C-alpha cells in the first residue's frame, strides 16, 4: 500500500495564495484520519506567471501511478493536483486504469474502486477533453479558416480540375494520374511534358511577357513537376507549402502514389534509372575493364550501327543493336517466368495499407502537437521533442511508401499477359528503368578479330 501526497505552489493570481506548508499539513491530516501511511510527498513549485514550467513532481506522480503500486493520491483540491485540462485527462485516466483513489481536502474522494467513482472520473475526464477540443478548434480557425475546412484555395483553376476547383477535369485528371504511374515506372518529366503537348493538353495559362502572344503555354519538365508535386492531386489541402489535412475534393491519385512520386522527384539519387537517354543502355551498361558507364556513339553511316563505348579510355566498344537485342531477350524471358510476380511482391512490396494508416496517424499526432504548442500551460520543449520523434518516424514511413511505389516499375510487365508486347509499348525511359531495376550489364571486350556476337562477353548480374 502506497499513498502519495502531491502539493503545488502556484503563481498567486488572485491573492488567495495557499502556502505549500498549509497544503502539506491539511493533506497529512487527511491521510492520518483515513489511517493511511504516506509514502512520498511530491512538491512542485511553479510560481512563474508564464505557466511554462515543467512539473517534475507531477510527472513523478504519474510514473508512480502507472507503475501500479500506488493505492491513493492525496491533494488539497483538484485544481492543485492538475494545472490544466490535459493534466486532468492524463491523471484521471491513469488513476482509473490502476484503481487509484484520489482523496481531496476540499472536495469528495474519487474512488476508482467503485462504479460511482469511476463515473465521476469519466465525467471529469470527458469535460476536460471536450474543452481541449473546443480550444483546438478555435486555434485552427484563427490560423486559417479555409485551409482547416479543407476548401480549395482561391486563385487560378489548377490543372486537372474544373472551375469549381472540386470536380475533376476528366481528360486532365486522367493525364495527371497516368503521369504519376509513368514517373514511378521510370519516365522523365520531360517525357511527360512531350506526351501532354502531343495530346494538346494546356494548362489554361497563356504566354505573357516577352514571348506573350496569347497562345497557351507548352508544358516543360519544370511545369509538369509543379503540377505533380502539388498535394491537391492526392486530395490534400496545403497551406503555405505544408499539408494541413484532407481537402473537400476527391483525390486524383492515392496518397502513397503522390508521396512516392514526390520522393522520387525530390532526390535524383533515388531515381531507378539514369537520366533520360535515347539509347537503351547508355549510362547503364558499364565497361568491363574500368567499371565506368558506357555511352552510345552515333550511328556510323558506313557501318549502319552505333556502339556502346567506355566513357573514359575507350576500353570497350560493342555493337549496340546486338547488345540491346540480347539484353531485351533476357528481360522478357525473366519477366515471363511463372514466378516473376511472386518474386516481385514477396521481395519488395511492403504493406502499403498499413503504412498509409500509420502515416495518417502520425500526421494527426503532429497536428495535435502543433495545437499543444499554442497552449501556454504546456512546456514548449516537451512538445518540440515529441514532434521531432513523430517527424522522424513519419520520414521512415514516407520512405517505405516511396519504395512501394517503385515496385510499379516492374508491375506493368509482370502483370502483362504478353510481356514482349507490353515491353514494346513502353517508352525508352521506362524500358531503361526496368533494366536498371533488374540487372547490371557489364560489357567486356569482344576479343581480337571477333565478328560474331558472343553472349558470354556481355555479363549480366541480376539484382
Ligand atoms: Zn573503361
Examine the domain organization and report whether 455 and 306 are in the same domain. yes
Query: 309 CA to middle of ligand 1, Å?
Result: 8
Examine the domain organization and report whether 112 and 210 are in the same domain. no
Query: For residue 156, is it within any domain?
Result: no
Encode the chain (463 residues) as per-residue pLDDT tens digits.
Answer: 689 999 887 654 444 446 778 888 889 999 998 899 999 999 887 654 444 567 788 889 999 998 888 999 999 887 778 777 778 888 888 888 888 999 988 877 888 877 777 777 777 777 767 766 666 655 555 445 666 667 777 778 899 999 898 999 999 999 999 999 888 777 888 889 988 988 888 766 654 444 455 567 788 888 899 999 999 999 988 876 677 778 889 999 988 788 878 877 875 544 544 566 789 999 899 999 988 889 998 888 888 889 999 988 888 999 999 999 999 999 999 888 887 766 554 445 556 666 766 777 787 777 777 777 777 777 777 778 888 888 888 888 877 766 665 566 777 788 888 999 999 988 888 888 889 878 899 999 987 776 788 889 999 998 7
CATH of the domain at 222: 3.90.1750.20
Examine the domain organization and report whether 220 and 129 are in the same domain. no
Cα angle: 306, vertex 309, 314; to 5 degrees: 135
Examine the domain organization and report whether 57 and 198 are in the same domain. no
Cell numbers 481531496 correspond to what residue? 104
Helices 56-67, 85-97: axis angle to 10 degrees equals 20
Query: 427 CA to middle of ligand 1, Å?
Result: 28
Cα angle: 335, vertex 338, 344; to 5 degrees: 55
Query: For residue 150, is it within any domain?
Result: no
283: nearest Cα among 409, 440, 457: 440
CATH of the domain at 10: 3.40.50.1390
Query: 421 CA to middle of ligand 1, Å?
Result: 34
| CB of 225 closer than 8 Å to CB of 313 | no
Q: How far apart are CA 225 and CA 262, in angstroms?
A: 9
Query: 443 CA to middle of ligand 1, Å?
Result: 9
Query: For residue 444, is it within any domain?
Result: yes
Query: Which of 270, 302, 322 lies at the terminal end of a domain, its last residue?
Result: 270
Q: How far apart are CA 244 and CA 307, in angstroms?
A: 52
Examine the domain organization and report whether 420 and 343 are in the same domain. yes
Query: 304 CA to middle of ligand 1, Å?
Result: 24
Say what the pLDDT of residue 405 is.
Answer: 52
Q: Cell numbers for 230, please give them.
A: 502539388
Q: How far apart are CA 458 and CA 43, in angstroms?
A: 77
Query: For residue 154, is it within any domain?
Result: no
What is the percentage of the chain residues whose pLDDT exceeds 90?
A: 22
**Greatest pairwise CA separation for the chain in angstroms:** 110
Query: 291 CA to middle of ligand 1, Å?
Result: 6
Query: 445 CA to middle of ligand 1, Å?
Result: 10
Say what the pLDDT of residue 318 is.
Answer: 92
Q: How many CB atoms lie within 10 A of CB 307?
A: 21
Cα angle: 331, vertex 332, 335; to 5 degrees: 85
Neighbouring residues of the ion ligand 1, judged by CB less than 5 Å: 287, 289-290, 310, 315
Q: How far apart are CA 424 and CA 412, in angstroms?
A: 12
Query: 157 CA to middle of ligand 1, Å?
Result: 52
Q: How far apart are CA 102 and CA 36, in angstroms?
A: 13
Examine the domain organization and report whether 368 and 440 are in the same domain. yes
Examine the domain organization and report whether 201 and 227 are in the same domain. yes
Q: How far apart are CA 184 and CA 178, in angstroms?
A: 10
Cβ neighbours for 55, distance < 8 A, ≥ 6 positions apart? 8, 44, 46, 83
3-state secondary structure of 9: strand
Query: For residue 296, is it within any domain?
Result: yes
Query: 105 CA to middle of ligand 1, Å?
Result: 86
Say what the pLDDT of residue 403 is.
Answer: 63
Cβ neighbours for 41, distance < 8 A, ≥ 6 positions apart? 4, 5, 6, 7, 24, 27
Q: How far apart are CA 373 and CA 384, in angstroms?
A: 8
Examine the domain organization and report whether 450 and 331 are in the same domain. yes
Query: The domain containing residue 264 runs over which residues?
Result: 170-270
Query: 317 CA to middle of ligand 1, Å?
Result: 9
Say what the pLDDT of residue 346 is.
Answer: 43
422-445 pLDDT, tens per residue? 999 888 888 888 898 788 999 999
Q: Cell numbers for 381, please give them.
A: 520543449
Query: 444 CA to middle of ligand 1, Å?
Result: 9
Examine the domain organization and report whether 236 and 385 are in the same domain. no
Examine the domain organization and report whether 290 and 264 are in the same domain. no
Say what the pLDDT of residue 51 is.
Answer: 47
Query: For residue 393, is it within any domain?
Result: yes
Query: 316 CA to middle of ligand 1, Å?
Result: 6
Query: For residue 452, is it within any domain?
Result: yes
Query: 288 CA to middle of ligand 1, Å?
Result: 7
Query: Which of 220, 241, 270 lies at the terminal end of a domain, its last residue?
Result: 270
- Number of structural domains, the chain? 3
Query: 284 CA to middle of ligand 1, Å?
Result: 13
Query: 447 CA to middle of ligand 1, Å?
Result: 15
Examine the domain organization and report whether 266 and 349 are in the same domain. no
Examine the domain organization and report whether 264 and 291 are in the same domain. no
Query: Which of 143, 161, 193 lies at the terminal end of a domain, its last residue?
Result: 143
Say what the pLDDT of residue 276 is.
Answer: 65
Query: For residue 151, is it within any domain?
Result: no
Q: How far apart are CA 321 and CA 304, in angstroms?
A: 10
Amino acid at each position: 500500500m502506497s499513498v502519495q501526497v502531491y502539493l503545488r505552489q502556484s503563481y498567486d493570481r488572485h491573492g488567495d495564495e495557499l502556502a505549500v506548508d498549509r497544503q502539506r499539513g491539511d493533506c497529512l491530516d487527511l491521510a492520518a484520519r483515513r489511517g493511511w501511511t504516506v509514502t512520498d510527498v511530491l512538491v512542485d513549485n511553479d510560481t512563474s506567471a508564464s505557466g511554462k514550467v515543467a512539473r517534475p513532481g507531477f510527472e513523478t506522480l504519474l510514473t508512480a501511478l502507472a507503475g501500479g503500486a500506488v493505492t491513493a493520491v492525496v491533494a488539497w483540491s483538484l485544481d492543485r493536483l492538475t494545472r490544466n485540462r490535459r493534466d486532468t485527462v492524463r491523471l484521471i485516466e491513469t488513476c482509473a486504469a490502476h484503481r487509484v483513489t484520489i482523496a481531496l481536502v476540499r472536495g469528495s474522494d474519487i474512488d476508482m474502486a467503485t462504479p460511482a467513482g469511476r463515473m465521476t472520473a469519466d465525467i471529469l475526464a470527458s469535460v476536460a477533453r471536450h474543452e481541449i477540443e473546443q480550444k483546438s478548434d478555435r486555434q485552427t480557425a484563427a490560423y486559417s479558416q479555409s485551409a482547416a475546412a479543407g476548401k480549395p484555395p482561391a486563385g487560378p483553376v489548377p490543372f486537372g480540375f474544373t472551375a469549381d476547383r472540386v470536380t475533376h477535369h476528366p481528360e486532365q485528371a486522367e493525364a495527371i494520374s497516368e503521369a504519376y504511374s509513368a514517373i514511378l515506372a521510370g519516365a522523365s518529366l520531360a517525357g511527360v511534358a512531350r506526351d501532354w503537348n502531343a495530346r494538346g493538353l494546356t494548362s489554361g495559362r497563356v504566354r505573357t511577357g516577352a514571348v506573350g502572344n496569347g497562345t497557351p503555354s507548352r508544358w516543360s519538365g519544370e511545369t509538369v513537376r509543379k503540377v505533380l508535386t502539388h498535394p491537391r492531386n492526392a486530395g490534400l489541402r496545403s497551406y503555405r507549402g505544408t499539408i494541413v489535412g484532407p481537402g473537400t475534393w476527391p483525390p486524383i491519385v492515392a496518397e502513397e502514389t503522390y508521396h512516392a512520386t514526390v520522393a522520387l522527384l525530390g532526390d535524383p539519387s533515388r531515381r531507378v534509372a539514369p537520366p533520360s537517354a535515347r539509347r537503351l543502355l547508355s549510362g547503364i551498361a558499364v565497361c568491363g575493364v574500368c567499371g565506368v558507364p558506357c555511352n552510345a556513339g552515333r550511328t556510323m553511316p558506313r557501318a549502319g550501327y552505333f556502339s556502346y563505348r567506355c566513357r573514359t579510355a575507350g576500353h570497350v566498344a560493342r555493337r549496340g543493336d546486338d547488345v540491346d537485342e540480347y539484353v531485351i531477350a533476357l528481360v522478357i524471358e525473366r519477366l515471363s517466368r511463372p514466378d516473376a510476380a511472386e518474386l516481385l511482391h514477396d521481395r519488395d512490396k511492403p504493406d502499403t495499407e498499413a503504412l498509409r494508416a500509420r502515416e495518417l496517424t502520425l500526421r494527426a499526432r503532429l497536428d495535435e502537437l502543433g495545437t499543444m504548442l499554442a497552449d501556454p500551460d504546456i512546456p514548449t520543449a516537451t512538445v518540440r521533442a515529441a514532434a521531432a520523434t513523430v517527424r522522424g518516424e513519419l520520414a521512415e514511413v514516407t520512405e517505405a511508401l516511396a519504395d512501394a511505389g517503385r515496385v510499379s516499375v516492374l508491375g506493368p510487365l509482370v502483370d502483362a499477359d504478353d510481356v514482349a508486347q507490353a515491353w514494346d509499348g513502353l517508352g525508352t525511359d521506362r524500358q531503361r528503368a526496368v533494366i536498371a531495376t533488374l540487372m547490371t550489364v557489364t560489357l567486356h571486350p569482344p576479343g581480337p578479330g571477333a565478328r560474331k556476337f558472343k553472349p558470354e562477353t556481355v555479363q549480366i548480374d541480376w539484382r
